Amino acid sequence: MVENYDVVIVGAGTAGTYLGWLLSKKGISVVIIEKDKRDQVGKRLDVIHFETDRIKKAGIPPPQVGYPELVGIFEEDTVNAPDFKTKKKIRALQTIIRLSYFLQRMYKIVESDGGKFLFECKFLELIFENDKIVGLFAEKNSEKIEFRTRIVIDASGTSGVVRTCLPAEYGVETFKLGPNDVMYVLLQYIKWSKPEEPYPQHLNGFIYYLAWLGPCHIENGVIIGVGQPGSYENVAKVRDDLLKKVNFPPYEIVKSEKGFTPYRRPPYSLVADGFLCIGDASVITYPFSGHGVTATWMLCIIAADVIETTLKQEGYITREQGAKFAGLYMQLSGILNFTEKEWNYLVGSNIIYRSRKGEIPEPNKEYEADMSFGEILKIALGLLGGIIKRKLSLKNVKKLLKANGLAGKIRKHYENYPENPDNFDAWVEEAEELWKQKKLVIKQYPSVAVEYH
């Protein structure tokens, strides 16, 4: 059987579904193939956080109050220092939903705008003619289907099933995600055993442990989430360390979930002839939180416009850039060096969570360093003050400044992403040199040393 579409998308997660929707609305013929059953997609994760303003920017009809999809809409978060006494309220506009309900609603929206899904249909291999992608083979109900298309989009999640099977020289890196390229996350949905007695509220972040309490749909319940690179074992150990210190009131575990989210630089190019990768398949996640959904939606808006123009012009899609994320990822290696005591000082002082005109601070809303010179100076003076008061070590502040310097360089380099493919190899060479300077950080928790590559 042969089917013809302008675009074939592999994967009906949040990335493939959203891009499929944008393309269908433009009148482009698109099919989204998904290996899982329709009602099973998205079941691996229950509750998930979206940045509220990004839902609006993406043009997605917001989830409605009173429906099981919506857990809640929140405006604030609390950052806790590792002493569990020093706290800081921050502004964080988040809409918290249940993923499978959201996807089921989106599938209907996409279909009503002309998009087509084929569930239980698994990508097998690409078809090439004259060394260029012209389609793919997939399998449904043990039958092999041939899809002929102008563009194949890999939205298959962390496995990147299409990207990782491209020929080595096709133009997009084919690496697979290893244990040091991901944040392993363990989630426990818990219920406080004595809800009549005080218990910690959700939307509490324990920054030093990369842990948080998040809201869920369970009455008097909360999600305890912890993420760490390397292995689930690392996460479990760090979670034990946290729980020993934090002394929560008694609770019962209702259910547990686990998963991993990419934590490495994305491929230098997301695009090659007749090919694009998006979502986790393209390693696009916010380096500070591991959130990937809304970041990809923003990328999809650009991609859909480019694809539309390209299909009209008989050309190929252009390459994308991730300057902000690259810079932030580099910056993290500086921040991760600080010790527990230093974090107590950083959270308690106004150095990293600075508020403007007495407002609650809203850190990194757009995930970029849009600071004025005055603000940068304030941070620098704050760090200097910390060193003088012996609250921060000169060694770690130096590491932070060095990482920040490198972050600035890498960001600038990504902003100068070559428009002409002829300059691409030279650009990559320079990027490699910068990434080589990124330092490994080893953080010593009470029961485990975790490596951040």
Ligand X SMILES: Cc1cc2nc3c(=O)[nH]c(=O)nc-3n(C[C@H](O)[C@H](O)[C@H](O)COP(=O)(O)OP(=O)(O)OC[C@H]3O[C@@H](n4cnc5c(N)ncnc54)[C@H](O)[C@@H]3O)c2cc1C
Q: Which residues lie near ligand X (CB under 6 A)?
A: 10-16, 33-36, 41, 45, 48-49, 122-123, 155-157, 159, 161, 185, 187, 259-261, 279-281, 285, 290-294
Which residues, including other chains, have CB under 8 Å from residue 57's CB and lie 6 or more apart? 297, 298, 301
Taking the complex as a whole, the smallest distance from the CB of residue 120 to ligand X amounts, in Å, to 9
Closest CB to ligand X among residues 110, 293:
293
Closest CB to ligand X among residues 36, 273:
36
Closest CB to ligand X among residues 28, 155:
155
Distance CA(288)–CA(79), nearest Å, equals 13
Taking the complex as a whole, the smallest distance from the CB of residue 24 to ligand X amounts, in Å, to 17
Which pairs with CB-CB distance under 8 Å and at least 24 residues apart come from 176-180? 177/260, 177/262, 177/264, 177/283, 179/229, 179/230, 179/231, 180/229, 180/230, 180/264, 180/451, 180/453
Taking the complex as a whole, the smallest distance from the CB of residue 344 to ligand X amounts, in Å, to 27
Distance CA(81)–CA(340), nearest Å, equals 8
> Buried (b) or exposed (e) across 357-366, using 16+ Cβ within 10 A?
eeeebbebee
**CA atoms within a 13 Å half-sphere pointing along the CA-CB vector of 35:** 12
Closest CB to ligand X among residues 105, 402:
105
Closest CB to ligand X among residues 120, 308:
120
Taking the complex as a whole, the smallest distance from the CB of residue 163 to ligand X amounts, in Å, to 11
Question: If residue 243 lies in a helix (H) or strand (E), which one and from where to where?
Answer: helix 232-246
Closest CB to ligand X among residues 63, 334:
63
Closest CB to ligand X among residues 158, 337:
158
Q: Is the dihedral of CA 265, 227, 367, 339 positive or negative?
A: negative
Taking the complex as a whole, the smallest distance from the CB of residue 48 to ligand X amounts, in Å, to 4
Taking the complex as a whole, the smallest distance from the CB of residue 296 to ligand X amounts, in Å, to 6
Asked if residues 367 and 288 have their Cβ atoms less than 8 Å apart, the reply is yes
**How much is the CA Rg of the chain, to the nearest whole Å?**
23
Distance CA(28)–CA(237), nearest Å, equals 49
Taking the complex as a whole, the smallest distance from the CB of residue 357 to ligand X amounts, in Å, to 30
